Structure 1
Amino acid sequence: MAKPLTGATLIFAALLIGLGNFIVVLDSSIANVSIPHIAGSLGVSVTEATRVITFYAVADAITVPLAGWLARRFGEQRMFISAFIAFGAISLLCGLSRSIEMLIAGRILLGLAGGMMRPLSLTLLLRVFPSEKATLATIIWAMTTTVAPIAGPILGGVISDNAGWAWIFFINVPVAAFGAASLFYLLRGRREETARSPIDVVGLALLVTWVTSLQLLLDEGRNLDWFAATEIRALAVVAAIGFIAFLIWELTEKHPIVNLRVFRHRGFVVASVTYAMSFGAFFATIVLIPLWLQQNMGYTATWAGYATGIMGIFAVFASPIIGAASAKIDPRLIISTGIGGLALISVWRIGFTPDMTFLQMAWPMLLTGPFLMMLFIPITGLCIASVDPNEQADAAGISNFLRTLATAFAASLVQTGWINAARVNQSGLVGAMQQGPATIETMVASGLSRDTATALLTNVVESQSVMLATLNMFAVVALCLAFTGALIWLAPKPKGPINTSGGH
């Protein structure tokens, strides 16, 4: 095994590896506030443009089980540098996209490269640092992972408004080129141990089949009237059969790509399901709020980015405190408190109104950060502590796979729920509006044309319908979070302090 680095070489290599992890995590959130720009530029609906988010997450999730095998087969630093180069090249293609299909294809490839870099960045940091400085390696990785989602919406908004949405991808190109070339130079000559380990090709194919089919079902269902469409029924059948076949195969395969045997531990099942559901519910609001602010509140992408990015301000300061507390306090209490806080913030948002100020909207987002860290930091540690020592790597990988997959599903589901709720609310408002004709006549009498008066009233109804739909979604998120906050108590209490390094 290659020796750890020392001196300036170690510092520079650590910063470059952290930079690689930073741009990957950044890309998971930078597009959230740019969706209206992308939709308008490519001539598609906002709903269609949201696939830029969902398919990136799906590709990222699917790659996680592959990362370990590829690292063992070809070497960690070789795979990381190769993925770094690929990330930059694919980002260039994404920025040059002239159709939504081309952009989605690029984002899928970007997710595959990013899904490789994220887990390998931590592994490689631990390899280049001496063992006595492993904590410092973890801190560098944790900080880049924490800061990137904060910077994503802010950078995405500023860049989209001032340079165009394509530049949220173009900025990756020089960073990836510099980072990959510098790492190649710094790490040249370091020998890596490789091994010809078997790959579960069938398991991987089944995983891709059922996950992709389910994501397509969620994305296309709202456009094709759900199960009234033959395509949706076919996707449902493929997803169901693929999932069942995947379970059977993985439970009987000698070298499974996903070690489902860890699900025999009750603590792992509860912790991983809590992680996926609660983080998915949180991510649903991070997708919904920028869309609502830009489409209905008159915000620019820049201000929508500020509105969501500010949640990281308190999170950065809270992280070390929560990390220290997790080693002394029952992690279930910290997790439950964090999820409960997120649920109360969603309840707070149910009181939002169309005429609220930026500051009124910002306070709940600012307070989201510390509560999110109370979920984020100890939950993976609890997952790992719930399994046998030889299964801990599998547990960490599966819990992160489920979390990433949940974000893709949540983004699709919240879009569907929002659109359907707006439609139902509009019908209800029209049916309950007794003074509509009289209001139109009053506006006509004041000098407006009948068409203009009707259009104005229609706009008011549509705006209120969307506002109510947004509040409906906040209520659903609050209920989901309340459920998962209680669910975590079904996990047994860990026998000792948990390792929180995987929870960032």
Structure 2
Amino acid sequence: GFSSGLTIPGSLQIILRHYQVHRRNIGLSLWGIAALTPFTLGPFIGGWITDSIGWRWLFYVNIPIALSVAAFIAILLFGREMEHHHPPLDWPGLLFLLIALATLESALDRGEIISWWRSSPIIFLGMISLLALMVFAIWEWYGRHPLLELHLLKRRNFLIGGMVLFFTILLFQGSIALYVVGFQLVMGYSAWLVGLLILPMAIFSKISFILTQRLLNHLDARILAIFSLLGFAAASFWVSSYNHPASFSELLWPQAFVGIFLGSLFPSINTVALSGLSGPAEMRGTAFLNVLRLCGQAMGIPLIATLFDRRTILHAHFLAEGNSTVMAHTPTISSSNIHIVHYIAHQAAMLAFNEIFYIAAWGFLLGAGLLLFSKRVP
């Protein structure tokens, strides 16, 4: 996590520093396409590796790839001029932020295991996270060289853009993780087949991203962002409408539909948030948005997974309560009725799956409505 967190701002800084001004849009377009790749091609490649040679190879292949990329970058950047005049690092701010995020993520990851707020450790972790976050906010607001420029939140577009980015990536990352894992557990798909379901998203997102770079020069970014969120909402409503085991082709089309809007969503939201900023202020704003994006990704998976588990248990309870055969044999259910229990568990998981995407759809609609209150982006 520490190493991967360095790659996003590091790679962006390299492009902004070493690309000529009139070719910078090309570099940023290539960078944006690369940034979308893990969401889209990751499940496809990972599914093939898992089914073909085993899940451990997902980690083994990282070694030669990382070493090769590091060597390639070293060769390309060797001898280039580098600037060393940077403001001092805000070590207290970094420590407070680290404590806040680490305790919060620990609470999210362990909450389902140790019964959330009924557990003393979760309450303790939550209080520590909240306290550290409050101290961090006060320290950064009055600091001379803040780690995150919180004063940017006084700008309406940055505040709205940051909020929409955080909750959009949270819902998107959580629902994609549920999509990948849920179809393996609920419908018995292999990792390879689930990767194939995500593949259309990879194809169409690249095309739409290239078109977005051209449209942003001629169109208000708010329109693109709102249009993309409406597309995400429509796709989520689409997925939530399946009340029976859908065929592979039926599941494929919503992902292609999402891919059309994925390439335009995040560039347009970033443009809205960073509108009116330039130079160092724009770089500080970009760093702030990257933190929000990473936090949304990290929190989305455990939150959506927990909500899915809770709703599955609730639906299973009501489905079993309405089945006299199951209730008559509880708790010593006979082997002849075990298929009824499995069927109820399967249907409960499908209902919970639909509910998650229904909630996500309304979340995307809320984000689109919130963007209406932002200022026009020239």
Work out whether the TM-score is over 0.5: yes
Q: Deviations over 1:338-375 (max 9, x none)?
A: 11111111111122144211100111111001122231
Is 2:126 the partner of 1:243?
no
Contact 1:151 1:309 in 2 (8 A): yes
- For 2:110, the equivalent position in structure 1 comes to 220
Counterpart Cα distance in 2 of 1:182 and 1:316: 24
Q: Which has the higher contact order (CA 8 A, sep 6+)?
A: 2
The SS at the match of 1:133 is helix
Name stretches of at least 5 consecutive residues in structure 2 with no aligned partner. none
Q: Deviations over 1:145-171 (max 9, x none)?
A: 233432211111000111111211222
Q: CA, structure 1 residues 184+316, in 2 after alignment: closer, same or farther (shift >3 Å)? A: closer
Q: Deviations over 1:427-474 (max 9, x none)?
A: 101111246579x9xxxxxxxxx8322211111111111111111111
2:274 counterpart (366, 379, 384): 384
Contact 1:150 1:309 in 2 (8 A): yes
Is 2:369 the partner of 1:479?
no
Counterpart Cα distance in 2 of 1:249 and 1:128: 34
Contact 1:331 1:379 in 2 (8 A): yes
Contact 1:337 1:374 in 2 (8 A): no
Matches within 5 A, 1:409-424: 409-424=299-314
Q: CA, structure 1 residues 180+270, in 2 after alignment: closer, same or farther (shift >3 Å)? A: same
Matches within 5 A, 1:18-417: 111-195=1-85, 197-387=87-277, 390-417=280-307
1:180 maps to a residue whose letter is: A
Displacement after TM superposition at 1:239 (Å): 0.9
2:337 maps to a residue whose letter is: T
Contact 2:90 2:147 in 1 (8 A): yes
Counterpart Cα distance in 1 of 2:90 and 2:235: 43
Displacement after TM superposition at 1:319 (Å): 1.9
- For 2:353, the equivalent position in structure 1 comes to 470
Counterpart Cα distance in 2 of 1:157 and 1:168: 9
Name stretches of at least 5 consecutive residues in structure 1 with no aligned partner. 1-110, 441-449, 497-504
The SS at the match of 1:212 is helix
Q: Deviations over 1:269-289 (max 9, x none)?
A: 011101111121111110101
Contact 2:157 2:274 in 1 (8 A): no
Q: CA, structure 1 residues 181+326, in 2 after alignment: closer, same or farther (shift >3 Å)? A: closer
Q: CA, structure 1 residues 366+263, in 2 after alignment: closer, same or farther (shift >3 Å)? A: same
Q: CA, structure 1 residues 313+190, in 2 after alignment: closer, same or farther (shift >3 Å)? A: closer
Contact 1:152 1:309 in 2 (8 A): no
Q: CA, structure 1 residues 166+487, in 2 after alignment: closer, same or farther (shift >3 Å)? A: same
Matched residues, number: 375
Displacement after TM superposition at 1:415 (Å): 0.6
Displacement after TM superposition at 1:395 (Å): 1.1
Counterpart Cα distance in 1 of 2:21 and 2:156: 32
My pick for the range that moved more, 200-209 or 171-180, is 171-180
The SS at the match of 1:490 is coil
**Aligned-residue RMSD, C-alpha:** 1.9
Contact 1:226 1:232 in 2 (8 A): yes
1:190 maps to a residue whose letter is: R
My pick for the range that moved more, 356-365 or 399-408, is 399-408
1:223 maps to a residue whose letter is: I
